[in-house]
Amino acid sequence: MKGWCGRILNVDLSRGTLEPAALNPLDAQLFIGGRGLNDKVLFDRIPPGTDPLGPENVICFAPGPLSGTVLGLTSRVEVSTLSPYSGILGDGNAGERLAHVMKLAGWDQINITGRCERPSYLYIHEDEVSLIPCPEHWGTDTWEFTEAMRNTHDRDISVACIGQAGECLVRFASVIVDKYASAARGAGAVMGSKNLKGIVVRGNRKVKLADPETFKALAKEDRNFFKTDPFQKGVASCIGSHHGILNWFPGYRNYEDFWDRSKIPAAIQPEAFKEYEVRRTGCRNCTVQCKNRFEIPKGRRAGEQGEAMEYECVFCLGTNCGITDPVVIMEMENLCDRYGMDIIAAGNTMAMVKDLFNMGDITIEDTGGLDLSWENADDQVKLLHRTALRQGFGNIVAEGLYLGAKILGKRAMDVCYHVKGLSRGPYKSGMFALAHATSTRGADHLRGRSWAYGENDGDLFSKLKSEGRLPADMADNPVSALIVSERACTLADCIGRCKGAVNSWSCAVPLVNQYPLMEGLARLMTAATGVPYTEERLSATADRVYLLEKAFNIRCGTRRQDDRLVLHKDLLGTEEAAKEQEKHEAMLTAYYEASGQDLVTGIPTRRKLEELELGFVADTLEKELPLEPWDGPKPWPLNAYPSGEKRV
């Protein structure tokens, strides 16, 4: 095979087996790699009713066929599992070096099930694969473990690991790659449930290409764009996603407001964060260098450096929790990286809890003495520690947004602004609400929303509309724009391409500025693999992956009602809310019609599945349905979880 390595690694931790296998060429062509390849494994191997924290759950790691090549922005690895945070498909996409190194080691995918008898890590050096016990490292944070592995093996390794949050089964624990990249949606808790501390990979092979000269020329075209484009050079490379602080309307105090640039305090504006910046950096083979390395100037962690503090931290753990102190925000960034926790989920859960505290639904007695007043940054940091270690009230916060709301009761569900367990806040009907509703991993901006809305691609977005690639008036026709955008994001996750810290078509779709929409990507894929890709073939692949994910979630109990409109608590029960719901339902019906889903249930139709060569999915659904409706992940008693002691 060309582009692909042709090998996958199947690991059963309970049996202690490490079995290489050939990558099925048909699976490679139908699902490409990364997200698509992982989806196929999860659908095949995880039956309905599986406990996400049980040994039978599967976690998959996969780069794309373009990872490990000279094409820039392609060191993205997809980490997929049944999420203990949402109870549906949970995938995270992480940068740094793992995707690149996995391909150089000769692997297209790693699939892991079972549970180690004692804490261990998986070591892969090309053909050499071993499971190494490491009880002495259980209880260490991700930075400590990564440095220990570099000292044990070599500095050229890539390390994906968990910290104490994963070990304590915090439901939004992340897998942290090379200290600073996060694969979210609870993958860290799944690794912790398997007693798997980390995966260490090393390799020096080359990825074989079908037409290396053509591929190299196309990659050069792509690289030259990023070197010369004013926005990529002047914004993305200089301030990265901090661009969003002034342009993306961050939520304030659990979405009580959305701040425009006139409301953003000077202390957390992009230029202010430059004061703490040590240098710019990026993932392996990146021409943009969108990340900042920063140093905390004072306070509890004075002198500590961190990396890749993005907009989401300033928003989710900052403004949306009522915190605008940049030093505390940087501190919380590092704590989440070291403990191994998803910043977005941690922030959304804390914002909900602080909202309930400030409404009087929970008290200082409930929180174990923590004052969760909006402006109290010190006690929020204390709660972050307690959450990572499942101590006291932190044990409830560690359950995450949806399960936490169910435990806390009263008005918690009114301020738990979720779609299928994940939150991007409350929005009235329209493009944002529809994109959050149809996202296959719960409310999310990275499944298509930013691309359909054209947040960061002004000139290109206008060009795509003038060419008829996107509707001229999205307000009247959001569905077709969203479907095209979902295809773009799906393909990026399958090929191993970064969608950009400043989410853009230019990042997600290689050569989109030089060729019509996906034609440049088709040329790259053909040159890499030798398979004759076209725009039509790529679009069908994206639709296939998306409907396979929808089918996976159907087996988790989701239906049309779960693709829900999320409105602010102040609108609930009003006439305006009823009108917004009616508009949303009309858009959702149009979306289902266009994408081949049953208008009543949201289940993909057999006709559409067979058209996309997914007849086996239709067969499986017909055998298994009906199933219990989705109500979040399978809960555990709070006293059943492990707790930690060592604070970061």
The secondary structure of 351-398 as a DSSP string is HHHHHHHHHTSS-TTTTTS----TT-HHHHHHHHHHHHTT-TTHHHHT
* pTM for the whole structure: 0.96
pLDDT of 476 > 80? The answer is: no
Average pLDDT along the chain:
96
> What's the CA gap between 601 and 558, in Å, rounded?
9
* pLDDT value of position 136: 97
Helices (H), 32-170: 34-45, 98-105, 142-152, 164-167
β-strands 109-113, 7-12: how paired?
parallel
pLDDT of 551 > 90? The answer is: yes
pLDDT of 28 > 90? The answer is: yes
Per DSSP, what are the bridge partners of residue 132? Answer: 121
pLDDT digits 0-9 by tens, 338-349: 999 999 999 999
Amino acid at 299: G
* pLDDT value of position 59: 98
DSSP 118-132: S-EEEEEETTEEEEE
Per DSSP, what are the bridge partners of residue 62? Answer: 78
336-352 burial: b if 16+ Cβ within 10 Å, else e: bbbbbbbbbbbbbbbbb
pLDDT of 509 > 80? The answer is: yes
Record the tokens describing residue 262, joined without a space: 């006139």
Query: Within a 10 A sphere around the Cβ of 532, how many other Cβ atoms?
Result: 9
Share of the chain above pLDDT 90, in %: 92
pLDDT of 456 > 80? The answer is: no
Record the tokens describing residue 76, joined without a space: 């993205």
Task: Indicate the helix (H) or strand (E) that contains 221.
Answer: helix 212-228
Task: Name the pLDDT band for 453 (thresholds 50, 70, 90).
Answer: confident
Record the tokens describing residue 385, joined without a space: 């520690």
Which domains are delineated in the chain? 7-202 (3.60.9.10), 231-415 (1.10.569.10)
* pLDDT value of position 457: 75
* pLDDT value of position 275: 95
> What's the CA gap between 437 and 444, in Å, rounded?
9
Enter the DSSP assignment of 85: T
What's the N-to-C CA distance of the chain in angstroms? Answer: 45
* pLDDT value of position 33: 98
pLDDT digits 0-9 by tens, 53-77: 999 999 999 999 999 999 999 999 9
Task: Name the pLDDT band for 597 (thresholds 50, 70, 90).
Answer: very high
Going by C-alpha positions, the residue among 52, 39, 41, 51 that lies closest to residue 11 is 41
pLDDT digits 0-9 by tens, 416-449: 999 999 999 999 999 999 999 999 999 999 998 8
Going by C-alpha positions, the residue among 638, 562, 566, 570 that lies closest to residue 411 is 570
Query: In three state form, how does the secondary structure of 403-450 look?
Result: HHHHHHCCCHHHHCCCECCECCCCCCCCHHHHHHHHCECECCCCCCHH
Distance of CA 105 to the CA centre of its chain: 24
Task: Name the pLDDT band for 357 (thresholds 50, 70, 90).
Answer: very high
pLDDT of 87 > 90? The answer is: yes
pLDDT digits 0-9 by tens, 177-234: 999 999 999 999 999 999 999 999 999 999 999 999 999 999 999 999 999 999 999 9
pLDDT digits 0-9 by tens, 157-166: 999 999 999 9
Environment class of 443 (CB within 10 Å of its CB; exposed 0-12, middle 13-18, buried 19+): buried
* Long-range CB contacts (within 8 A, 24+) of 431-437: 431/474, 431/475, 431/478, 431/481, 431/482, 433/565, 433/566, 433/584, 434/478, 434/479, 434/482, 434/584, 434/587, 434/588, 434/591, 435/482, 435/485, 436/566, 437/563, 437/564, 437/565, 437/584, 437/588
Record the tokens describing residue 366, joined without a space: 């409930």
pLDDT digits 0-9 by tens, 292-335: 999 999 999 999 999 989 999 999 999 999 999 999 999 999 99
Residue pair 9/129 in contact by the 8 Å Cβ criterion: yes
pLDDT of 452 > 80? The answer is: no
